[in-house]
């Protein structure tokens, strides 16, 4: 039997029972639709989480020093020189202070940073500009706020605030820019009584803390290096250079921890993968039920078409011809269900993200950008393959049953 004939016979058989075929594939439609919706949304959440940490997040090392009182900006610069795979370092300081704009007083979280932090964490400037090297060197009284801080102080996130002054402690700080965010995890979106901003690190330690000691640093590793290996190298260098103790030692007071964000990113990936695995399992059960529905219909089909099978055998159909016809019918049913499922799944993921995307983003990543579904060609290909396999598995038994029918008994079947 030629493939073209097989296709024509299959189409003829399926189109003869359109209503029943449509009901039969419902399970497959739901199963595949659920898989595609979940995969797209989880892909979107995963992207949002990756976006939260920045595009270069996996390359960033976080260094925390404990029990050291004389680690200055010079030491930070020396660290960058001594570890070849560290492209640049980002010393950090954080201060809680009261801030005042006109008569409004709020609690401010001020981050002392270098300008490179924008590149490292993917913070986007919405208004104004960042610091220059000159600003960093001279410790200028300039601040960059996040968009929600602008809302909390000035009424809305789009308010033109560049050039306005804010009083922090006894000093006036000029707002030179507004960024989408100035910290990975920020509460300004939810707490209207607080603001967050970035000042140059030199400003932070000279004017706000009055303490030149740096205890927290981030380091950007080179794109070609292994962040974990650079982390180990950095820890080894710092321990040797400053005679630090191993944190596992009992009573250790001078210690350092160097962690790679790669591990954090892997944890995020692992978490989303686990979530995805659970969803795929649940959807798989739906597919199994759908497959059983297909088998049930195919068995009914075989029973209803016993005389036709007998006739085909009398006219020369071999077992293979009968088997392949029924299996192809089953695969076509599953593929049609799968195709509809993929389309509905994609539409569903866009619809769901449209409805709950913003809330999902806020809940999972704290970001204001809504979660957008990700169309994964791999997931679609998997769905198609799953349909073919489901059709094969659940079509096999009815097809073999049809092929084994005795032609004489089949022709005499009432």
Partner 1 sequence: MAGPKYVLEVENVHRIYESAAGYTHAIRGVTLRVPRGEFLCIMGPSGSGKSTLMNILGGLDRPTAGVYKLEGVSTSELDDDELAELRARRLGFVFQRYNLLPRATVLRNVMMPLIYTNVPVAERELRAYKALRVVGLPEEYYDHRSNELSGGQMQRVAIARALVNDPALILADEPTGALDSATSELVMELFAKLSEQGKTIVVITHDPDTSSWGDRTVHIRDGRLFTEEEERALIEAAMRSGADINARRGHT
Which of 16, 278, 292, 381 binds partner 1 (CB under 8 A)? It is: 16
Verify binding: residue 320, partner 1, rule CB under 8 A.
yes
Structure tokens at 150: 């602008």
**Stretch in the footprint of partner 1 (CB under 8 A) among 66-74, 110-118, 336-344, 405-413:** 405-413
Verify binding: residue 401, partner 1, rule CB under 8 A.
no
Shortest approach of partner 1 to residue 20 CB, angstroms?
14
Verify binding: residue 389, partner 1, rule CB under 8 A.
no
Verify binding: residue 407, partner 1, rule CB under 8 A.
yes
Q: How far is CA 331 from CA 28, 120, 386, in A?
A: 11, 50, 10
Shortest approach of partner 1 to residue 307 CB, angstroms?
7
H or E, element range at 361: helix 319-364
Q: Cα separation of 221 and 260, whole Å?
A: 10
Q: Cα separation of 154 and 332, whole Å?
A: 61
**How many other C-beta atoms can be found within 10 angstroms of the C-beta atom of residue 407?**
15
Q: Cα separation of 134 and 78, whole Å?
A: 20
Verify binding: residue 3, partner 1, rule CB under 8 A.
no
Verify binding: residue 316, partner 1, rule CB under 8 A.
yes
Shortest approach of partner 1 to residue 314 CB, angstroms?
5
- Residue 246 is classified by DSSP as P
Q: Cα separation of 363 and 355, whole Å?
A: 14
Site map (CB under 8 A) of partner 1, residues 273-302, x = contact: ------------------------------
Verify binding: residue 240, partner 1, rule CB under 8 A.
no
3-state secondary structure of 233: helix
Q: Where are the beta strands (DSSP E) in 74-215?
A: 86-101, 104-113, 125-128, 142-146, 165-168, 171-179, 194-200
Shortest approach of partner 1 to residue 413 CB, angstroms?
11
Using the minimum distance from each CB to partner 1, give the nearer residue, 138 or 404.
404
- Are 262 and 228 spatial neighbours (Cβ–Cβ below 8 Å)? yes
Q: Cα separation of 376 and 320, whole Å?
A: 37
Q: Cα separation of 214 and 204, whole Å?
A: 11
Which of 86, 203, 313, 335 binds partner 1 (CB under 8 A)? It is: 313
Which of 20, 187, 318, 354 binds partner 1 (CB under 8 A)? It is: 318
Q: Cα separation of 56 and 60, whole Å?
A: 7
Using the minimum distance from each CB to partner 1, give the nearer residue, 319 or 400.
319
**Stretch in the footprint of partner 1 (CB under 8 A) among 9-17, 25-33, 57-65, 276-284:** 9-17
Which of 311, 351, 384, 388 binds partner 1 (CB under 8 A)? It is: 311
Verify binding: residue 312, partner 1, rule CB under 8 A.
yes
Give the interface size with partner 1 as a residue count (CB under 8 A). Answer: 23
Strand partners, 100: 105, 167
Binding site for partner 1 (CB under 8 A): 1-2, 4-5, 9, 12, 16, 307-308, 311-321, 407-408, 411
């Amino acid at each position: 039997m030629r493939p073209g004939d097989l296709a024509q016979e299959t189409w003829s058989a399926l189109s003869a029972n359109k209503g029943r075929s449509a009901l039969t594939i419902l399970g497959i439609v739901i199963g595949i639709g659920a898989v595609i919706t979940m995969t797209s949304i989880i892909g979107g959440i995963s992207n949002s989480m990756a976006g939260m940490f920045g595009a270069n997040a996996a390359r960033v090392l976080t260094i925390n020093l404990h029990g050291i009182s004389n680690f200055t900006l010079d030491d930070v610069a020396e660290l960058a020189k001594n570890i070849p795979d560290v492209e640049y370092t980002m010393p950090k300081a954080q201060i809680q202070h009261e801030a005042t704009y006109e008569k409004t007083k709020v609690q401010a979280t001020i981050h002392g940073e270098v300008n490179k932090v924008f590149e490292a964490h993917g913070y986007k400037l919405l208004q104004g500009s960042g610091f220059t090297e000159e600003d960093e060197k001279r410790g200028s009284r300039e601040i960059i706020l996040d968009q929600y801080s602008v809302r909390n102080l000035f009424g809305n996130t789009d308010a033109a605030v560049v050039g306005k002054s804010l009083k922090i402690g006894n000093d006036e700080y000029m707002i030179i820019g507004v960024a989408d965010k100035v910290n990975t995890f920020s509460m300004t979106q939810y707490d209207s009584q607080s603001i967050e901003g970035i000042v140059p690190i030199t400003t932070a330690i000279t004017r706000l803390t009055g303490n030149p000691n740096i205890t927290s640093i981030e380091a950007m590793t080179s794109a070609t290096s292994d962040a974990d290996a650079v982390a180990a190298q950095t820890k080894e260098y710092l321990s040797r250079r400053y005679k630090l103790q191993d944190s596992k030692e009992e009573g250790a007071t001078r210690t350092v921890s160097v962690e790679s964000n790669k591990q954090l990113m892997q944890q995020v990936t692992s978490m989303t993968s686990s979530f995805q695995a659970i969803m795929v399992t649940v959807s798989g059960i739906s597919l199994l039920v759908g497959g059983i529905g297909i088998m049930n219909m195919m068995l009914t089909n075989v029973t209803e078409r016993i005389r036709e099978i007998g006739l085909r055998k009398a006219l020369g159909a071999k077992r293979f011809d009968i088997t392949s016809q029924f299996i192809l019918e089953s695969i076509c049913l599953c593929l049609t269900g799968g195709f509809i499922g993929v389309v509905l799944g994609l539409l569903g993921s866009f619809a769901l993200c449209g409805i709950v995307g913003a809330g999902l983003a806020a809940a999972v990543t704290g970001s204001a950008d809504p979660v957008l579904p990700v169309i994964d060609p791999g997931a679609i290909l998997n769905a198609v393959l799953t349909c073919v396999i489901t059709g094969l598995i659940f079509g096999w038994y009815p097809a073999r049953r049809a092929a084994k029918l005795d032609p004489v008994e089949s022709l005499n079947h009432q």
